[in-house]
Structure 1
Amino acid sequence: MTTQKRKIISFTKPLRIGFMVILIGFISCKEAKHEKQNSVPAPVKAELKSISINGDSFHYLDIGKGEPVVFVHGTVDDYRVWEAQMYAFAKNHRVIAYSRRFAYPNKQMINDSTDFSVTAHSKDLTAFIQELDVGPVHLVGHSFGAFTSLLTALEHPELLQSLTLGEPPIMSLLQNIPKGEELLNDFVGNVLIPTGEEFAKNNDEKAVELFIGGVLEDSLYFSKAAQKEKDLMLDNTLELRASVTRKNLLPPLACDDIKTVKIPVLLMKGDKSPEVLTAILDELHSCIDHSEFVILSNSSHGLAYENPVEFNKIVLDFINKN
């Protein structure tokens, strides 16, 4: 499917259009008590590598042997958020986790014409897989990274063996949901606008705190996080800042476009995730009639970060049978 063939869907109000582009992303590991309850083996020590893609340098980890699994992170994230997955998956697979454009420690140049869109990130992901010559891969994406992964599957299905999507922010699907407009307005007013206001005051830490609190529906999450997790988030504020000021970052996919996906698909949402995200995933499930659908227990939008043991088991089982 080419981009030109897609139906163009847009919301009518300018404010809605401007803020629907926020890319729901990140969340680091839970506090120490939660980590103890969901303990995983210690992460594998691996050399951080770099590769030139579309004229820029991208950093990634590459460990293990077997069928390749590529992890794609969300906003306010980088390759480091997949630590709890790297060891478990590398026992029987080649595991690759990369930092998307603008994420730590990449150093892409920024100017007024910089493209932060999902489409640009999908082009990077496509080139990344092709340059490493590892396809077809099992692609595992979270949030913004899940949207990036879905678009890659639509444009280049030959590069994928399976697709796992964790709560991608496909905002255009909200118009198919009775409460869609209300859910979007609530998210814009309660999360995105306050986040943008703090960025306008150059208060990056407060902006990230409000955003993370909103997508997790836990206003105290950031304040309770260990300094290591806070630093990781603050290392990756660039894309979030752009998302509250730029338009047209999210391709307006229609259900008919998404139905063209033929590879095995696993859809995952958290049992405590915000309704705006779970409603989108429910609609996505109806668009891909052959998709598998799971609800991750004891988790909000963080998914793999909040319940790594269950996440790893579910996704590994899915990958191993496909």
Structure 2
Amino acid sequence: MQSSTLVLKYIVLVSVAAMFFVASPSFAQQKGASSSDMQTREVQINGLSLHYIELGQGTPVVLVHGTLEDYRTWDGQLDALSKGYRLISYSRRYHYPNEWPKDATDFSVTIHATDLAAFIKAINLPPVHLIGHSYGAFIAFLVARDHPGVIRSLTLGEPPMMPLLKTTPEGDALLAAAITRSIATGEAFKQGNDEEGVRRFVNGVLGEGSYEKLPPPVLKRVMDNARELKGESSSRDLFPPTTCEDVQKLKAPTLLLDGERSPKIFRVINDRLEHCLPSVERATIPAASHQMEVENPQAFNEKVLEFIAKH
């Protein structure tokens, strides 16, 4: 049981972080509003302070980022989504610029979901359109399932809900293939060398020299969140078991997004989600891999706006 948990843990780390780096060259090309130019706000929830930005007016839209990311991830969405909505992008627990706790062994999708539900209530939001990417999409799913009263609609960009793979014919093979691409980063983190831990991880996933080729803005953001990867590596309970029956409990209208070039493992998970969800639409973001909101923000925004306008 423990070895199975560790395997799934590393699969999640590989899946959500690797595709971040694949998409990273396009990051510097984004135009328009920049979160780096905006003053962050703070809200106290669950004994900690979370930073966020917001702009626009109307029905709230809340953005939930993935691994090695933070509120700055969504710059490609700021202009488009804030024209008709009150757009809110926050940094999750353990992410820049939030304070880093001494002990991150409680890192899990569950604690992030608890934070998100409390965050929505703490800033007195009416029911929101919730948009999550990767690990953030898994978090958004849990909030929509367990706190339906705070949700108008749900958009999930390739959530790494790996337990669902166990119920698919290809699941074991996909997991085995992914684990062969993983790299152990815990040793470097234990030695206190976060940069070396991230370097080993990136080069282990994408090949030697990949870390050294990261554009400076992307490298800075990655290193700003290096401790988060360290927290995931030391987590005792990264994410909970999830079944089709669990998914069927979600009542909010849901949009599933696929990247046209994303690894097959994400499409298989979305296939399973599409089968299990009671109210679901699905769309593909062309010319994009897992980091779809960065690689093709125009198509991403169009699909999201079309969907949330219905709800």
Q: What is the TM-score with the length of structure 2 in the denominator? A: 0.89
- Assess, with a 3 A threshold, how the Cα gap between structure 1 residues 249 and 86 changes in structure 2: closer, same or farther: same
Measured in 1, the distance between the counterparts of 2:253 and 2:207 equals 33
Structure 2 counterpart of 1:80, one-letter code: R
Contact 2:259/2:284, CA 8 A, preserved across alignment: yes
Measured in 2, the distance between the counterparts of 1:212 and 1:77 equals 15
CA-CA distance at 1:299 after TM superposition: 1.2
Provide the residue aligned with 1:111 in structure 2: 103
The question of 1:31 aligning with 2:25 is answered yes
**Structure 1: stretches of 5+ with no match in the other structure:** 1-11
The question of 1:284 aligning with 2:276 is answered no
Provide the residue aligned with 1:81 in structure 2: 73
Structure 1 counterpart of 2:7, one-letter code: F
Contact 2:108/2:235, CA 8 A, preserved across alignment: no
What count of residue pairs does the alignment treat as equivalent? Answer: 304
Provide the residue aligned with 2:90 in structure 1: 98
1:279-318 equivalences under 5 Å are: 279-318=268-307
Flag the structure with higher helix content: 2
Contact 2:194/2:227, CA 8 A, preserved across alignment: no
Which one of 26, 42, 56 corresponds to residue 50 of structure 1? 42
After superposing the two structures, state which structure 1 stretch, 162-171 or 197-206, moved more.
Answer: 197-206
List per-residue Cα deviations over 1:32-72 (Å, max 9, x = no partner). Answer: 6x865xx5434364321011011111100011101100000
Q: Secondary structure at the match of 1:244?
A: helix
After superposing the two structures, state which structure 1 stretch, 23-32 or 282-291, moved more.
Answer: 23-32
**Structure 2: stretches of 5+ with no match in the other structure:** none
1:1-322 equivalences under 5 Å are: 12=1, 14-21=2-9, 22-23=12-13, 24-25=15-16, 27=20, 30-31=24-25, 40-43=31-34, 45-111=37-103, 114-191=105-182, 193-196=183-186, 198-200=188-190, 202-209=192-199, 211=201, 222-322=211-311
Measured in 2, the distance between the counterparts of 1:91 and 1:170 equals 32
- Assess, with a 3 A threshold, how the Cα gap between structure 1 residues 212 and 139 changes in structure 2: closer, same or farther: farther
Q: Secondary structure at the match of 2:88?
A: strand
Measured in 2, the distance between the counterparts of 1:190 and 1:287 equals 29
Q: Secondary structure at the match of 2:234?
A: coil
Contact 1:296/1:303, CA 8 A, preserved across alignment: yes
Superposed CA RMSD? 2.4
- Assess, with a 3 A threshold, how the Cα gap between structure 1 residues 282 and 198 changes in structure 2: closer, same or farther: farther
Q: What is the TM-score with the length of structure 1 in the denominator? A: 0.86
Instruction: State the identity %.
Output: 39
- Assess, with a 3 A threshold, how the Cα gap between structure 1 residues 19 and 133 changes in structure 2: closer, same or farther: same
Structure 1 counterpart of 2:25, one-letter code: E
Contact 1:41/1:88, CA 8 A, preserved across alignment: no
